[in-house]
Chain A
């Protein structure tokens, strides 16, 4: 599903991200673990096409994304990836239902007539049937992250990329969100890459990739 080979990205005058080799099988759930600043989020951004590699090869779902044009990359993200962020990143002007529908708005995966029913179904699945028309600002952080999970699944993605999804949650909510995320990804048989700096969270996934040596600093 995901393959990185000799992938480089310059992050500063003397700082370079380098990943010699990394791969993920379809349906696999992998935690990218390491301390803050170790390059795990950079790796996630490179895989999701939010950053371009300076050299090397990145293949996601059979597509070499470093060669994609900007528009194709947008379409690639919309159709094949689902994003979950630390700060939920819901759009304030929209309700829970609209936020999930927005996930479908920018790709052609789900026909427009099905957006509402699919968004409702997903929100019901994450336990927010009663908050369909609530705006994010009126909801708890746990509820907001559950909306984000529903939105990430909206387009039936091949790969879920979750960047510190529990980073803004208290332990109770963190536990609940992780349980839900794992459960839903297993149900949907979707591949998941989860970035976390918490060892306990990382160890909940079947595979842990240690990111501590991804950043190379040239001190000369």
Chain B
């Protein structure tokens, strides 16, 4: 029959109050735990993906926006650049570059971006600085990589969310958002993509993109452009000869479409004015990042950004203050909970003066009484911390589905990080502090008076 058991028995004897106090501590700890886990895990995931490429080159604008759009497929691109810049980069007279991949974005399917790129991207690997393990996000789970235009390879999340399988066809939507068919300005129904491969889950933003050739995206857009032009032309001629024009358009489309695409395909890659959204660059060494960024700024009309720098800026300048506020709220709730522990125990000690006096009469020392009451505070705090850890991680677990769905960031919940350990130790200390006054009150009891006054 330890002091822990005695303390627990008294807590159990007033279950409802104990539960409410534990719950208030748990809510506070849960908030802190969730904020810390989300902060650490998302930052880790962001930084992990930011290492995939040393430099991103794109149209001038916000570097963060460019990184978010090109590496995490989150924001709108800053604009387009000529493919000539990519060709220039490949020349690489100073031998900075290990690999460079052009990407083109413009269309999407059910909210998932279609990334036009070169097949070489699928060989891209890097080493994580967190665990020094190689990362290879592009591994085919089913089917194969694309060989032809309008062949598509789906990220694992895209396949999971859309239900598309190898061999299925889908029609892309212009832009990055899911738009009902009747509201779509551009109809790509005559240029469907065919799913030829589905990739293994890499737990990265790459899981939520659709990959096809650069040319596919160009062709869809040049076609869209031509189509718009034809429609405009048709509109002008409509009053004169509606049926004739419409028939001509259908004829061209049905019979010359494949041939036309092949010709365009050959032209666009070589045409220095063809546009791409960004270039993802892996350097020979991360140490070249700053030099190469300067090189791009000085020698091209494009902008270069280092993903890891932008992500650190995002966290330090914007997200950190928000997290600090949330943590402050969490600690405020902890302080209120500590106060409720203090009040609860204080009132309980007032009601239990007789019990404490009896224990003293039975031979308990004043230190044992002090310890028993302090242990009650510790029980409440520890259970609150355990409950809070569970609540916080359960929230993180639920949120992880949203983060994976929306941003491709797969975060780990039900872990314990350094920040949480520090926070839990702080909460335990505050709980103990809250127990000291009631414990002293119990320690200082006058046994004879308390026994006689209650006889």
Determine if B355 and A91 form an interchain contact, defined as CB atoms under 8 angstroms apart. yes
CB distance from A29 to the nearest CB of B (A): 21
CB distance from A57 to the nearest CB of B (A): 19
A98 at the interface (CB under 8 A from B): yes
Query: Which residues 434-453 of B sit at the A interface, judged by CB distance below 8 A?
Result: 447-448, 451-452
- A51 and B446 alpha carbons, distance in the complex (Å): 9
CB distance from A205 to the nearest CB of B (A): 21
**Residue ID in chain B nearest A52 by CB atoms:** B448
Determine if A50 and B363 form an interchain contact, defined as CB atoms under 8 angstroms apart. no
- From A50, A87, A98, A155, give the contact of B448 (CB < 8 A): A50
B455 at the interface (CB under 8 A from A): yes
- A106 and B358 alpha carbons, distance in the complex (Å): 11
Q: In the complex, what residues of B have CB within 8 A of residue A155's CB?
A: 363
B320 at the interface (CB under 8 A from A): no
CB distance from A132 to the nearest CB of B (A): 15
Interface string of A65-98 (1 = CB under 8 A from B): 0000011001101110001011101011110001
Determine if B448 and A83 form an interchain contact, defined as CB atoms under 8 angstroms apart. no
Q: Which of B6-14, B47-55, B311-319 contacts A (4 or more CB under 8 A)?
A: B6-14
Determine if A87 and B361 form an interchain contact, defined as CB atoms under 8 angstroms apart. no
Determine if A41 and B364 form an interchain contact, defined as CB atoms under 8 angstroms apart. no
**Interface, chain B (partner A; CB < 8 A):** 1, 6, 9-10, 12-13, 354-355, 358-368, 447-448, 451-452, 454-455
Determine if B1 and A115 form an interchain contact, defined as CB atoms under 8 angstroms apart. yes
A143 at the interface (CB under 8 A from B): no
Q: In the complex, what residues of A have CB within 8 A of residue B366's CB?
A: 70-71, 74
CB distance from B165 to the nearest CB of A (A): 63
- A92 and B448 alpha carbons, distance in the complex (Å): 20
**Residue ID in chain A nearest B14 by CB atoms:** A93
Q: In the complex, what residues of B have CB within 8 A of residue A101's CB?
A: 1
Closest 7 CB pairs of A and B: A78-B363, A106-B363, A93-B13, A50-B448, A93-B9, A106-B364, A74-B365
The interface centre, meaning the residue of B10, B354, B367, B455 with most chain A CB atoms within 10 A of its CB, is B455
The interface centre, meaning the residue of A70, A74, A83, A107 with most chain B CB atoms within 10 A of its CB, is A74
Determine if A103 and B362 form an interchain contact, defined as CB atoms under 8 angstroms apart. yes
- A155 and B362 alpha carbons, distance in the complex (Å): 10
Determine if B448 and A107 form an interchain contact, defined as CB atoms under 8 angstroms apart. no
- A106 and B355 alpha carbons, distance in the complex (Å): 14
CB distance from B94 to the nearest CB of A (A): 79
- A93 and B359 alpha carbons, distance in the complex (Å): 13
Determine if B455 and A74 form an interchain contact, defined as CB atoms under 8 angstroms apart. no
14 residue pairs from A and B, CB less than 8 Å apart: A48-B361, A74-B366, A77-B360, A77-B363, A85-B358, A86-B455, A92-B355, A93-B9, A93-B12, A98-B1, A102-B1, A102-B359, A105-B6, A163-B455
Given A92-B13, A93-B12, A94-B9, decide whether A102 and B362 contact each other with a Cβ distance below 8 A: yes
**Residue ID in chain B nearest A91 by CB atoms:** B355
Query: Which residues 18-74 of A sit at the B interface, judged by CB distance below 8 A?
Result: 41, 45, 48, 50-51, 70-71, 74
Q: In the complex, what residues of B have CB within 8 A of residue A92's CB?
A: 13, 355
**Interface, chain A (partner B; CB < 8 A):** 41, 45, 48, 50-51, 70-71, 74-75, 77-79, 83, 85-87, 89, 91-94, 98, 101-103, 105-107, 115, 151, 155, 163-164
Given A74-B360, A78-B362, A107-B363, decide whether A45 and B448 contact each other with a Cβ distance below 8 A: yes
**Residue ID in chain A nearest B13 by CB atoms:** A93
CB distance from B112 to the nearest CB of A (A): 59
Determine if A87 and B455 form an interchain contact, defined as CB atoms under 8 angstroms apart. yes
Q: In the complex, what residues of B have CB within 8 A of residue A75's CB?
A: 363, 365
- A107 and B354 alpha carbons, distance in the complex (Å): 20
Q: In the complex, what residues of B have CB within 8 A of residue A70's CB?
A: 365-366
**Residue ID in chain A nearest B8 by CB atoms:** A93
Determine if B363 and A79 form an interchain contact, defined as CB atoms under 8 angstroms apart. yes
Determine if B9 and A74 form an interchain contact, defined as CB atoms under 8 angstroms apart. no
- A86 and B453 alpha carbons, distance in the complex (Å): 12
Determine if A50 and B1 form an interchain contact, defined as CB atoms under 8 angstroms apart. no
Determine if A105 and B1 form an interchain contact, defined as CB atoms under 8 angstroms apart. yes
- From B10, B12, B354, B364, give the contact of A74 (CB < 8 A): B364
The interface centre, meaning the residue of B358, B359, B365 with most chain A CB atoms within 10 A of its CB, is B358
- From A87, A106, A115, give the contact of B359 (CB < 8 A): A106
Q: In the complex, what residues of A have CB within 8 A of residue B365's CB?
A: 70-71, 74-75, 106
Q: In the complex, what residues of A have CB within 8 A of residue B1's CB?
A: 98, 101-102, 105, 115
Q: In the complex, what residues of A have CB within 8 A of residue B355's CB?
A: 91-92
Q: In the complex, what residues of A have CB within 8 A of residue B358's CB?
A: 83, 85, 89, 91
Determine if A83 and B361 form an interchain contact, defined as CB atoms under 8 angstroms apart. yes
**Residue ID in chain A nearest B364 by CB atoms:** A106
The interface centre, meaning the residue of B359, B363, B452 with most chain A CB atoms within 10 A of its CB, is B363
Determine if B455 and A50 form an interchain contact, defined as CB atoms under 8 angstroms apart. no
**Residue ID in chain A nearest B11 by CB atoms:** A93
- A84 and B34 alpha carbons, distance in the complex (Å): 53
Q: In the complex, what residues of A have CB within 8 A of residue B6's CB?
A: 102, 105
Q: In the complex, what residues of B have CB within 8 A of residue A105's CB?
A: 1, 6, 362, 364
CB distance from A107 to the nearest CB of B (A): 5
- A132 and B362 alpha carbons, distance in the complex (Å): 20
- A44 and B342 alpha carbons, distance in the complex (Å): 35
CB distance from B173 to the nearest CB of A (A): 66
- A50 and B364 alpha carbons, distance in the complex (Å): 12
Determine if A83 and B12 form an interchain contact, defined as CB atoms under 8 angstroms apart. no
- A190 and B6 alpha carbons, distance in the complex (Å): 29
CB distance from B428 to the nearest CB of A (A): 24
Q: In the complex, what residues of B have CB within 8 A of residue A71's CB?
A: 365-367
Determine if B359 and A50 form an interchain contact, defined as CB atoms under 8 angstroms apart. no
- From B359, B452, B454, give the contact of A41 (CB < 8 A): B452
Determine if B354 and A89 form an interchain contact, defined as CB atoms under 8 angstroms apart. yes
- A123 and B444 alpha carbons, distance in the complex (Å): 33
CB distance from B452 to the nearest CB of A (A): 6
Determine if A164 and B363 form an interchain contact, defined as CB atoms under 8 angstroms apart. no
Knowing that A41-B452, A70-B365 touch, tell me 19 more A-B residue pairs with CB under 8 angstroms.
Answer: A50-B361, A51-B448, A74-B365, A78-B362, A79-B363, A83-B358, A85-B451, A92-B13, A93-B13, A98-B9, A102-B6, A102-B359, A103-B362, A105-B6, A106-B359, A106-B364, A107-B363, A155-B363, A163-B455
